[in-house]
Chains A and B, each alone.
Chain A
Amino acid sequence: KAGVTQTPRYLIKTRGQQVTLSCSPISGHRSVSWYQQTPGQGLQFLFEYFSETQRNKGNFPGRFSGRQFSNSRSEMNVSTLELGDSALYLCASSSRQGGGTQYFGPGTRLLVL
């Protein structure tokens, strides 16, 4: 089985812009979770989508949003980018909702200038 794929792998944006990241889960997995990883805060949960519905959400501002399509692919959007949004954004897929065995993609490294 192919693993979790994320595009793009690297991205440079300026403050105030918006960005959309994409994640394709392992075939058959219906849960996609998004995480932000920074050296200071570690891995922080953003949100989880299961069967096209957001099931859980972390403590991030409304500028962070996402969606999931009928084929389980997911996108994450960050609007009005801030310098502090520079991070590695990881998505993980799972066969069940709410944690469990999660398989991570390689991440998208976002740099906000």
Chain B
Amino acid sequence: QKEVEQDPGPLSVPEGAIVSLNCTYSNSAFQYFMWYRQYSRKGPELLMYTYSSGNKEDGRFTAQVDKSSKYISLFIRDSQPSDSATYLCAMEGGSEKLVFGKGTKLTVNP
């Protein structure tokens, strides 16, 4: 079983839709959870960083962590074509290194 599982998609939604991206993990030592966005031919950029169960909101983005279920989500409200990118979840804990999901490719159609 991989430490971090992420559905690769691809996911295609119309502009304005609510997008839900998810990751599951198996390592109970993970304490810090991140979401990165990666545009084509660019490096990943950090979107959200959280370390506790519950929700964290930043503009149109909400990160949700459920440690009891080992499940994290990223919600994007009012999605825009500029949100089209690959979204990577990442986790840290125990080994002092980030472990990434494989990424979900999102396309938002105008």
A, B bound: yes
Interface residues of A (CB under 8 A from B): 4, 33, 35, 41-45, 48, 55-56, 58, 90, 92, 97-107
Q: How many residues of B contact A (CB 8 A)?
A: 21
CA A105 to CA B38, docked complex, whole Å: 11
With A42-B103, A98-B97: A103-B92 Cβ-Cβ less than 8 Å: no
Contacts of B95 in A (CB 8 A): 56
Chain A to chain B: the 9 pairs with minimum beta-carbon distance, closest first = A98-B96, A104-B43, A42-B102, A99-B92, A43-B100, A104-B44, A106-B43, A99-B98, A45-B97
Closest to B93 in A: A99
Report if B85 contacts A (CB, 8 A): no
Report if B75 contacts A (CB, 8 A): no
CA A4 to CA B45, docked complex, whole Å: 11
CB distance from B53 to the nearest CB of A (A): 19
Report if B61 contacts A (CB, 8 A): no
Residue among B45, B92, B103 making CB contact with A100, cutoff 8 Å: B92
A99-B96 in contact (CB<8A): yes
Report if B99 contacts A (CB, 8 A): yes
B32-A106 in contact (CB<8A): no
Report if B46 contacts A (CB, 8 A): yes
CA A44 to CA B34, docked complex, whole Å: 16
Contacts of A56 in B (CB 8 A): 95-97
CA A35 to CA B103, docked complex, whole Å: 15
A99-B32 in contact (CB<8A): yes
With A42-B103, A43-B88: A102-B98 Cβ-Cβ less than 8 Å: yes
CA A10 to CA B97, docked complex, whole Å: 26
CA A8 to CA B104, docked complex, whole Å: 27
Residue among A42, A103, A105 making CB contact with B46, cutoff 8 Å: A103
